Chain A
């Protein structure tokens, strides 16, 4: 399998505080990688470095290399804006854009990037809503405000929004932690389906979720990556004692 994303010696800071400490990690194409670890261990910070969103926080900085298909997104003269089109993100809290319709929420990324052709836009929006398994539920209310959907639907709308610009990697930061069990199950199902088209990196606090949907798992602790491996191995025979303690719920 080919490595689509390779992280080398990645460090990230908030001011003078180091939150991510020299991470090396690779992601295979069309797989799901789960990032687990106790609260505050730097999971969010880490994945926000992968699309260069971390540096948008005042005083935050990052250093290291992240190779997307071999090209360093932290290289000189690289425009973070262009990177973010290739590496999309879904956030913990469903956050459809206020006062935009369901349709416009999905279309806006393309529209603001300059796509004006209505027919093509419609096609891509429809495709994205199908991909995010939302189409059947919203096809009759594409003009309703995005915020009028249920929490679970809003989160799938956000997934559709991210997919519309056709990224090759999708970062998900605890995408189900604000959702009910049924919505959560739908999104888990969706993730498994989506890996046919994109590579997924998902942060989760839910061990069962990580075990169910991911191919590989990375365990973070205090900004370090303690262990990385096939999900089945990590959950059945972790090498590190700290990993074992965490996944069996004895700390964190």
Chain B
């Protein structure tokens, strides 16, 4: 029997289809496996933390050892303050560095800056804490919210800078040229056309780095330290969720362990809420212009 070309095509087509199906299945499996740790961490924190979570936890100060109840309201406020201070310092600096690298950085200096940013990103966060300790805490002669904020901000700079740089480089050159061709100076084109055009993705990068530093404990231990009471001022020690969780978790009290779990859950929820709020703000700002 004579075989036709189409028979071969058909056979190889069937084979191709089954190989394709197998590959897709493998990819789906890989994705699901990658999700398992995320889901199980979240589930575990939820299961352990939820029982200890109540209104008092959000509104009250920690109780002294021996007394039950109390909350982590000061640590929650402290973390929000520290992350805010850190962003105030780290986000503009990071974006400015990214802008320099992508829009103006040519030659040696840019190479050095890029390399330094990568180095900075790979320095363990505890070292960053030590650095701020030596620089700020020792000088001011006390632990402070400012020192903690600086440490977090310093951690944010390289990630924000590099993610901004990469995003800016994706903006095609002819967009910049179109801006220049309107008779606008380059800095205006850069800020109000190029950067503004990608503020969504840039914000995503910033949020990722905020989420990342929100849970940092090590750099806060000897910069912001901790505080059992409400914060008094930015030049005073300040409580934070990660440090509070750490303190409670290594304590010998069952009650505190419970609270540490609740604190962990709160931290996860905080990051989640910040992400959600930024997104909402961004999209409603988009709509408001219409």
Contact = CB atoms under 8 A, between A and B. Distances in A.
Interface of A: 51, 53, 56, 58, 81-86, 88-89, 91, 93, 95, 97-101, 104, 108-109, 112-113, 143, 158, 161-162, 165
A143 B286 CA distance: 10
B177 A53 contact: yes
Contacts of B171: 98
Given A89-B177, A99-B197, 5 more contacts: A81-B180, A97-B179, A97-B197, A104-B289, A161-B178
Main secondary structure of the interface of B (DSSP, over half): helix
A58 B106 contact: yes
A56 B180 contact: yes
A99 B178 contact: no
Interface string B263-290: 0000000000000000000000010011
Contacts of A100: 193, 196-197
Interface in B156-202: 171-172, 174-175, 177-186, 188, 192-193, 196-200
Given A91-B177, A93-B174, A82 B198 contact: no
A83 B185 CA distance: 11
Contacts of A95: 172, 174-175, 178
Given A53-B181, A58-B106, A84-B182, A98 B174 contact: no
B83 to A, nearest CB: 27
A198 B192 CA distance: 28
23 contacts: A84-B180, A84-B182, A85-B183, A86-B183, A89-B181, A91-B174, A91-B177, A93-B174, A95-B172, A98-B175, A99-B196, A99-B198, A100-B197, A101-B290, A104-B289, A108-B192, A108-B193, A109-B184, A113-B183, A113-B184, A143-B289, A161-B182, A165-B182
Interface in B224-255: none
A58 B110 CA distance: 15
Nearest to B196: A99
Given A95-B174, A97-B175, A98-B171, A112 B180 contact: no
Contacts of B289: 101, 104, 143
A53 B180 CA distance: 8
A88 B174 contact: no
Contacts of A81: 180, 183-185
B192 to A, nearest CB: 6
Residue picked from A85, A93, A98, most chain B C-beta under 10 Å = A98
A99 B183 contact: no
Contacts of B200: 99
A113 B186 CA distance: 12
A112 to B, nearest CB: 5
Contacts of B179: 97
A158 B175 CA distance: 11
Interface in B88-130: 106
A109 B183 contact: yes
Interface in B17-37: none
A149 to B, nearest CB: 15
Contacts of B182: 84-85, 88, 108-109, 112, 161-162, 165
Residue picked from B171, B177, B183, B186, most chain A C-beta under 10 Å = B183
Nearest to B199: A99
Contacts of A89: 177-178, 181
Nearest to B182: A109
Nearest to B175: A95
Contact of B197 (A53, A98, A161): A98
Given A81-B185, A98-B198, A108-B192, A143 B178 contact: no
Nearest to A164: B182
A98 B171 CA distance: 9
Interface string B141-160: 00000000000000000000
Contacts of B196: 99-100
Contacts of B197: 97-100
Contacts of B286: 99
A85 B185 CA distance: 11
A84 B106 contact: no
Given A99-B199, A108-B193, A51 B172 contact: no
Contacts of B175: 95, 97-98
A109 B181 CA distance: 9
Nearest to A97: B193
A89 B177 CA distance: 9
A156 to B, nearest CB: 14
A97 B178 contact: yes
A99 B282 CA distance: 12
